[in-house]
Structure 1
Amino acid sequence: MTASTHDTRPVALVTGATRGIGLAIAQRLGDTHHILVGGRDAQAVQAVVDELPSAAGFVCDLTDEAAVSAATQTIERLDLLIHSAGIARSTTVEQATREQWREIFEVNVVAVADLTRRLLPQLRANQGQVITINSGSGFHSGPGGALYSGSKFALRAFTDALREEERGAVRVSSIHPGRVDTDMQVELQQQAGRPYVASEHLRPGSVAEAVALAVFASPEAMVEQVSVRPVFKA
Structure 2
Amino acid sequence: MAQEPLALVTGASRGIGAAVAHALAPTHRVLLGGRDGDALAERAAEIPGSTPWPVDLTEPDALRAAIQDIDRLDVLVHSAGVATLGSVEQASPADWRRNFEVNVVAVAELTRLLLPALRAAKGHVVVLNSGAGLNARAGWGPYAASKFAARAFTEVLRAEEEPNGIRVTSVHPGRTDTEMQQALVAEEGGEYVPERFLRPDSVATAVLAAVSATPDAHLTDLVIRPRPTR
Which amino acid counterpart does residue 101 of structure 1 have in structure 2?
W
1:59 is the counterpart of 2:79: no
How far off its partner does 1:55 sit? 1.4
1:221 is the counterpart of 2:212: no
Provide the aligned C-alpha RMSD in A. 1.1
2:203 to 193, 207, 225: 207
1:183 is the counterpart of 2:188: no
**1:97 alignment counterpart:** 92
Structure 1 gap segments, 5+ residues each: 1-5
| Aligned mates of 2:51, 2:179 — CA distance in 1 | 24
Deviations 1:27-83 (A, max 9, x none): 011111000000101111111112212111110000111110110112122110000
**1:11 alignment counterpart:** 6
Asked whether the 8 Å contact 2:8–2:31 carries over to 1, the reply is yes
| Alignment: residue pair count | 228
Q: How does 1:127-166 map to 2 (within 5 A)?
A: 127-166=122-161
Deviates more, 1:213-222 or 1:108-117: 213-222
Q: How does 1:67-106 map to 2 (within 5 A)?
A: 67-106=62-101
| Aligned mates of 1:122, 1:205 — CA distance in 2 | 28
Which amino acid counterpart does residue 220 of structure 1 have in structure 2?
D
| Aligned mates of 2:86, 2:48 — CA distance in 1 | 41
Q: Which runs of 4+ in 1 moved over 2 A?
A: none
**2:227 alignment counterpart:** 231
How far off its partner does 1:141 sit? 1.1
